[in-house]
Structure 1
Amino acid sequence: MKQTFKIVSTFAIISFGILWIIRKFTEPTVYNTSDIRTILVLIYLFTSLRYYQMEIKHRNSQIDDLEAKLAAK
């Protein structure tokens, strides 16, 4: 699940960059991509947040396990 969030966030930020570059090199009236870019940024923020929350939970559980092993010695 963590890997899925990481892949989706990476895809969203790369897609945002591609749309931003297209917007800079074409006429502004040809492609109205501001809504799509906003949605991609929101997807990136949400998936990155969820990924890092899961990563922190995993690391905290590892720390708790190591502290328990250390206390047992």
Structure 2
Amino acid sequence: MTNNYPHELSVGDVYFSPMLLVIILAFLAAGLTVLVLNKLKVSRSIVAPSYVFIAIMALYMVLIDAFWIKF
């Protein structure tokens, strides 16, 4: 039984885990989401912004893994 999803991502001769790309994309998406929340002034009502950032990043990691890049 073969797996259709790549186990490694290659850049030149260096191999990376797909999870590294998922973490980077989730970090960028969470940062963009936090910027939007700050512009809309929703972040004033958040008690612990750093925990919310980590929670949003974890949510994006799950969504990216489920629908886009499988690791």
TM-score bracket for this pair, using the shorter chain length: 0.3 to 0.5
More strand by share: 2
- What is the TM-score with the length of structure 2 in the denominator? 0.40
> Higher Cα Rg: structure 1 or 2?
1
